[in-house]
Amino acid sequence: MRVYHSVLKLRLLMGMQYRAAAIAGVATQFFWGFIIIMVFQAFYENAVTTPPISLKEIITYIWLQQAFLVFVTIWFRDNELFDLITSGNIAYELCRPCELYGFWYAKLLAQRLSSALLRCFPILIVAFFLPKPYDMTLPPSFTAFILFISSLILGLFLLVAVSMFMYISVFLTMSPTGSLLIFSVLGEFFAGLIIPVPLMPEWLQKIAYVLPFRWTADFPFRVYSGHIPQNDAIIGIVIQLAYILCLVWLGRLALNNILKKVVVQGG
Residues binding other proteins (CB under 8 A): 9, 12-13, 16-25, 27-28, 31-32, 34-35, 38-39, 42-48, 51, 175, 177-178, 180-181, 184-185, 188-189, 194-195, 199-201, 204
Rg (the chain; Cα; Å): 20
Closest approach of other proteins to the CB of residue 17, in Å: 6
Closest approach of other proteins to the CB of residue 224, in Å: 22
> Residue 38 or 253: which CB sits closer to other proteins?
38
Closest approach of other proteins to the CB of residue 38, in Å: 5
> Residue 147 or 197: which CB sits closer to other proteins?
197
Closest approach of other proteins to the CB of residue 116, in Å: 16
Closest approach of other proteins to the CB of residue 209, in Å: 16
Q: What is the DSSP letter of 69?
A: G
How far is Cα 175 from Cα 75, in angstroms, rounded to an integer? Answer: 14
How far is Cα 81 from Cα 100, in angstroms, rounded to an integer? Answer: 11
Q: Would you say 153 and 180 are in contact if contact means Cβ atoms under 8 Å apart?
A: no
The torsion angle over the Cα atoms of residues 57, 119, 134 and 215, rounded to 10 degrees, is -10
157: nearest Cα among 243, 223, 221, 79: 243
> Residue 21 or 91: which CB sits closer to other proteins?
21
Residue 174's region, left for phi above 0, alpha for psi from -120 to 50, else beta, is left
